[in-house]
């Protein structure tokens, strides 16, 4: 019998307090009214203080992390306008939550503050993993990862998703221990006893549609030039007149692929995808969700709806291979909002293909993000370092041998 019990509750109720109470009550039905940690993802439509008050009225002071989304994922599949709660109770796992504040001022320092908060109550062990949920409108997403790895090391297992605001692109909210925050990073460190394993799957389905070129001028997450010409003009040349007329929205459909040279050793090129957020027509620059360093090789990418759904399936298969026959206990799924925009009415298929591969009986929670964190392939030493992604599915699966 598993030493871990997991419950997931979903609510679509209009009133925020009632929605929080209903979701946690449904989750607690599986865990006998107890939990060691709660993961909570909610739509922007809620009054978030009331939402969390509804949860804590039932759960008490159980540690909690989460935040707002661009779409929610649960055993019901894909939904919008809902709140989902996962309650985890385990004698074989230890959870330590933490928070870093003022992310937009200094992403690196905020990430380091999160780790310092966690490590003030815990120590990293041989079998530990970090899940993080940063403010999705906090600046250069790559700097968050730099801060985390600056403390934990580049080999430490990290996965996560940047919180959303239902595509308003103004500000997101973070949930931490029953309170609502803005401009923060929240997360938790989970440490395992012998027998537990984690499986991580990271795939997109997007492929290169042209030759590579180089970033020759950039500052932070603003790209000025590719191949010594205006970044925006080169992008428009690739897109053509009709597609260029739909900038910047078209950026979600045609993200840049930062070519990972180490990832090419297997004969297949893998990309760290970067979505354009804004374009400056006067200066010819493109602002991305995360930086592309000068000198980096880049390609333009695209994917059909079928390709994107297949990418989710490949991520699930990769996570299962990583588990090495361990039985999946729970799934946390992060998928980029850009994928949702491309998939449209087929968005539920992406969640379904993951559940079909890993198991419909395995509890799942997740959300549509403004950026994802995870290793390209944890089973390969050169690819095991966590990276920042856009337009990608990241799966974190806990298993028990």
Which string of DSSP letters, residue by residue, matches 186-230? EEEEEEE-TTEEEEEEEE---EE-S--EEEEEEETTEEEEETTEE
Whether residue 384 has pLDDT greater than 90: no
- Distance between CA atoms of residues 370 and 274, nearest Å: 11
Q: Look at residue 270 in the predicted model and tell me its pLDDT.
A: 72
Same domain for 224 and 342, yes or no, is no
Q: Which of 33, 32, 27 is nearest to 7 (CA)?
A: 27
Same domain for 279 and 194, yes or no, is no
Same domain for 262 and 345, yes or no, is no
pLDDT tens column, 162-175: 999 999 989 999 99
Quick check: helix, strand or coil at residue 165?
A: coil
Q: Look at residue 1 in the predicted model and tell me its pLDDT.
A: 42
Q: What is the mean pLDDT of residues 41-59?
A: 98
Q: Look at residue 367 in the predicted model and tell me its pLDDT.
A: 98
Q: How confident is the model at residue 119 (pLDDT cuts 50, 70, 90)?
A: very high
Domain count, the chain: 2
Which residues partner with 258 through β-bridges? 272, 298
Q: How confident is the model at residue 193 (pLDDT cuts 50, 70, 90)?
A: confident
Q: What is the mean pLDDT of residues 69-77?
A: 97
Whether residue 267 has pLDDT greater than 60: no
Q: Look at residue 195 in the predicted model and tell me its pLDDT.
A: 87
Q: Which residues, 6+ apart, have CB-to-CB distance to 164 below 8 Å? A: 68, 69, 70, 71, 136, 172, 337, 367, 368, 369, 370
Same domain for 226 and 370, yes or no, is no
- The token pair at 132 is 């993080």
Q: Which residues, 6+ apart, have CB-to-CB distance to 313 below 8 Å? A: 353, 354, 357
Whether residue 224 has pLDDT greater than 50: yes
pLDDT tens column, 234-264: 999 989 999 999 998 888 889 999 887 655 4
Cα-atom radius of gyration of the chain, to the nearest Å? 20
Same domain for 150 and 41, yes or no, is yes
Same domain for 34 and 168, yes or no, is yes
Q: Look at residue 124 in the predicted model and tell me its pLDDT.
A: 73
- Distance between CA atoms of residues 350 and 364, nearest Å: 13
Whether residue 361 has pLDDT greater than 90: yes
Q: How confident is the model at residue 399 (pLDDT cuts 50, 70, 90)?
A: very high
Whether residue 268 has pLDDT greater than 80: no
Looking at every residue in the chain, the average pLDDT score rounds to 93
Whether residue 27 has pLDDT greater than 50: yes
- By the 8 A CB rule, do 396 and 318 touch? no
Q: How confident is the model at residue 314 (pLDDT cuts 50, 70, 90)?
A: very high
Q: Where in the sequence is the domain holding 216, given as residue range(s)? A: 207-302
Q: Which of 272, 276, 254 is nearest to 263 (CA)?
A: 272
**With pLDDT > 70 as the criterion, what percentage of the chain qualifies?**
97
Same domain for 179 and 134, yes or no, is yes
Quick check: helix, strand or coil at residue 277?
A: strand
Burial class of 33 by CB neighbour count within 10 A (0 to 12, 13 to 18, 19+): middle
Residue at which a domain ends, from 265, 286, 302: 302
The DSSP element (H or E) to which 300 belongs, if any, is: strand 297-302
- The token pair at 80 is 């919008």
Whether residue 18 has pLDDT greater than 80: yes
- Cis (ω within 30 of 0) for the bond into 248? yes
Q: Which residues, 6+ apart, have CB-to-CB distance to 129 below 8 Å? A: 157, 158, 159, 189, 190, 192, 198, 396
- By the 8 A CB rule, do 83 and 66 touch? no
- Distance between CA atoms of residues 107 and 184, nearest Å: 9
Residue at which a domain ends, from 286, 302, 318: 302
Q: How confident is the model at residue 279 (pLDDT cuts 50, 70, 90)?
A: very high
Q: Look at residue 378 in the predicted model and tell me its pLDDT.
A: 84
- Lowest-pLDDT range of 47-51, 195-199, 353-357: 195-199
Q: Which residues, 6+ apart, have CB-to-CB distance to 333 below 8 Å? A: 73, 351, 354, 364, 365, 366, 367, 393, 394, 395, 396
Whether residue 85 has pLDDT greater than 80: yes
Same domain for 54 and 147, yes or no, is yes
- The token pair at 240 is 């053509």
Residue at which a domain ends, from 268, 302, 336: 302
Q: What angle in degrees, to the nearest 10, is found between the helix axes of 48-59 and 16-31?
A: 30
Q: Which region holds residue 13: left if phi is over 0, alpha if psi is between -120 and 50, else beta?
A: beta
Same domain for 315 and 294, yes or no, is no
Q: Look at residue 261 in the predicted model and tell me its pLDDT.
A: 64
Same domain for 135 and 15, yes or no, is yes
Same domain for 150 and 73, yes or no, is yes
Same domain for 246 and 335, yes or no, is no
């Amino acid at each position: 019998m598993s030493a871990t019990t997991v419950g997931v509750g979903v609510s679509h109720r209009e009133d925020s307090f009632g929605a929080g109470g209903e979701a946690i009550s449904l989750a607690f039905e599986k865990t006998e009214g107890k939990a060691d940690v709660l993961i909570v993802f909610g739509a922007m439509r809620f009054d978030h203080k009331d939402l969390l008050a509804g949860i804590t009225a039932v759960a008490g002071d159980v540690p909690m992390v989460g935040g707002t989304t661009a779409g929610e994922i649960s055993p019901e599949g894909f939904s919008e306008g809902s709140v989902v709660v996962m309650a985890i109770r385990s004698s074989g796992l230890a959870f330590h939550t933490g928070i870093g504040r003022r992310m937009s001022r200094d992403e690196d320092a905020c990430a380091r503050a999160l780790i310092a908060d966690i490590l003030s109550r815990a120590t990293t062990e041989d079998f530990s993993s970090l899940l993080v949920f940063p403010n999705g409108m906090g600046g250069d997403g790559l700097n968050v990862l730099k801060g985390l790895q600056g403390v934990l090391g580049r080999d430490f297992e990290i996965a996560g998703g940047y919180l959303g605001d239902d595509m308003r692109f103004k500000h997101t909210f973070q949930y931490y221990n029953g309170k609502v925050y803005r401009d923060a990073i929240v997360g938790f460190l989970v440490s395992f006893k012998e027998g537990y394993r984690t499986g991580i799957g990271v795939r997109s389905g997007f492929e290169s549609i042209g030759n590579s070129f180089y970033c020759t001028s950039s500052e932070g997450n603003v790209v000025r030039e590719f191949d010594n010409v205006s970044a925006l003009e080169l992008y428009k040349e690739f897109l053509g007149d009709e597609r260029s007329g739909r900038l910047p929205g078209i950026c979600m459909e045609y993200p840049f692929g930062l070519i990972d040279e180490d990832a090419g050793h297997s004969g297949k090129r893998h990309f760290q995808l970067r979505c354009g957020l804004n374009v400056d027509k006067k200066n010819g620059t493109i602002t991305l969700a995360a930086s592309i360093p000068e000198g980096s090789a880049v390609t333009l990418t695209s994917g059909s709806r079928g390709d994107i759904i297949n990418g989710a399936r490949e991520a699930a298969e990769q996570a299962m291979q990583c588990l090495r026959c361990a039985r999946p206990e729970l799934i946390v799924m992060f998928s980029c909002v850009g994928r949702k925009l491309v998939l449209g009415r087929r968005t539920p298929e992406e969640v379904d293909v993951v559940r079909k591969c890993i198991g419909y009986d395995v509890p799942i929670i997740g959300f549509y993000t403004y950026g994802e964190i995870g290793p390209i392939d944890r089973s390969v030493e050169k690819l095991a370092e966590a990276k920042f992604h856009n337009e990608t599915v990241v799966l974190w699966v806990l298993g028990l041998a």
